[in-house]
Amino acid sequence: MQAAVQTLFGAPEVLQMRDVEAPVAGEGELLVRVHASPVTQGDRRLRAADFPGISWLPGRLMFGLFRPKNRTPGTMFAGRVEAIGEGVSRFAVGDDVFGSTGHSAQAELLVVSADSPVAHMPDNFDYEEAAAVPYGAVTALLLLREVGRIQAGQRVLILGAAGGVGRFAVQLAKHLGAEVTGVCSRRSFELVRDLGAAHLIDYATEDFTGNGEQYDIVFDTGDVSGFSAARGSLTSTGRYLSLHLSLRILVQMLTTSVLRGPRALIGFAFGTQEHLNEVRDLMQQGVLRPVIAARVPLGRIADAHRLLEAGQTDGAVIVTVERAKLRQAGSPARQLAAAV
Ligand SMILES: NC(=O)c1ccc[n+]([C@@H]2O[C@H](COP(=O)([O-])OP(=O)(O)OC[C@H]3O[C@@H](n4cnc5c(N)ncnc54)[C@H](OP(=O)(O)O)[C@@H]3O)[C@@H](O)[C@H]2O)c1
């Protein structure tokens, strides 16, 4: 089969297409023919070994000290079950499924455990739409509900509201009954309003910390504020939520857990199959919807990473896998333009 392969950490150029041995489903596993897989900020970090601060050592130990431990990238997928291993009863050959995995989704075939975060695709989604959901939706669900303990009626501020996590945080917070303020670029106002934000702040021209408003939750998806700056905008029982491991946030978590006042908290997107099933139900109900900015064939995966890195993409960059073998002629720039 064809797969994206990287043997080095680095710029998008480290990603190449190769013919590799097709995987086989073992006991309790599914073989999935992948149709779509998003390129996320998480994928970018893994490709470049971009593990800032104190996450450097755990990142390198988990993902490869000098070279990538897992040569095929891709942590989210949607596709069709092609084979099942012994003991699998919840899934059958021909089922359309989507979910998340540690690596290897940017290939024609992928093996995942039937107990991992994999679920049947909702009927109202195609592969590309379904693949675009788990990264942001599971992260937002875990952070807002399990770390932030969001309640109906609360005032919630989402920093990076048009981003991969923020787009789902806005939708979920609104669904859970919060009054949402989205902080994003002015160009993203219409999108973020459409996703459910009642109030909008353009981060280029307005600083939310100076507007006199108080929030129950500040979800800093992009680590753009920090707890110290956000503290004055939180209620006395408010929660600042971060996705970024640093010594600073660890100290702040410790001190705010024993002192009175707003708390600083960090969370990670270690979602389970139950979380994904919950997200699936919300997709089926029309509560969660993806925004897709671009579709790029797997054969041009490096271009998909370049597009993500260029920013300005208010929506997911989706790698479409069934078109992996269709190498198109022309310059990379023209190919990229054609894909968008
Ligand atoms: N810990 C975990 O388990 C976990 C899980 C998922 C993601 N993450 C991390 O979370 C981060 C965010 O991921 P993502 O996929 O949401 O990234 P993303 O798609 O790049 O979104 C970041 C957003 O932040 C906006 N932004 C930039 N500066 C801002 C500012 N000063 N104020 C408010 N918004 C600002 C950007 O807007 P513009 O486009 O206008 O610049 C962009 O929309 C990444 O670092 C990722 O690695 C961690």
Strand ranges for 221-325 from DSSP E: 234-242, 263-266, 292-297, 316-320
Q: Do 45 and 30 touch, CB atoms closer than 8 A? A: no
Q: How far apart are CA 321 and CA 307, in angstroms?
A: 17
Domain annotation for the chain: domains and CATH numbers: 2-132+290-339 (3.90.180.10), 135-266 (3.40.50.720)
CA-based nearest residue to 5, from 324, 332, 278, 330 = 324
Q: For residue 182, which phi and psi values (nearest 5 degrees)?
A: -105, 130
Mutation test of ligand 1: which of 185, 186, 265 has the most ligand atoms closer than 8 Å to its C-beta?
A: 185
pLDDT reported for residue 331: 34
Q: Do 161 and 184 touch, CB atoms closer than 8 A? A: yes
* Cα–ligand 1 centroid distance for 325 (angstroms): 32
Q: For residue 39, which phi and psi values (nearest 5 degrees)?
A: -95, 115
pLDDT reported for residue 322: 74
Residue identifier of the C-alpha nearest atom 32 of ligand 1: 203
Residue identifier of the C-alpha nearest atom 2 of ligand 1: 268
* Cα–ligand 1 centroid distance for 95 (angstroms): 33
Instruction: Quick: pLDDT tens for 123-166.
Output: 999 999 999 999 999 999 999 999 999 999 999 999 999 999 99
Mutation test of ligand 1: which of 39, 41, 45 has the most ligand atoms closer than 8 Å to its C-beta?
A: 41
Residues of the chain predicted below pLDDT 70: 323-340
* Cα–ligand 1 centroid distance for 29 (angstroms): 33
H or E stretch including 250? helix 247-258
User: What is the DSSP code string of 134-180?
Assistant: HHHHHHHHIIIIIIS---TT-EEEEETTTSTTHHHHHHHHHHTT-EE
Q: How far apart are CA 147 and CA 142, in angstroms?
A: 7
pLDDT reported for residue 270: 86
H or E stretch including 100? strand 96-100
Residue 146 identity (one-letter amino acid): E
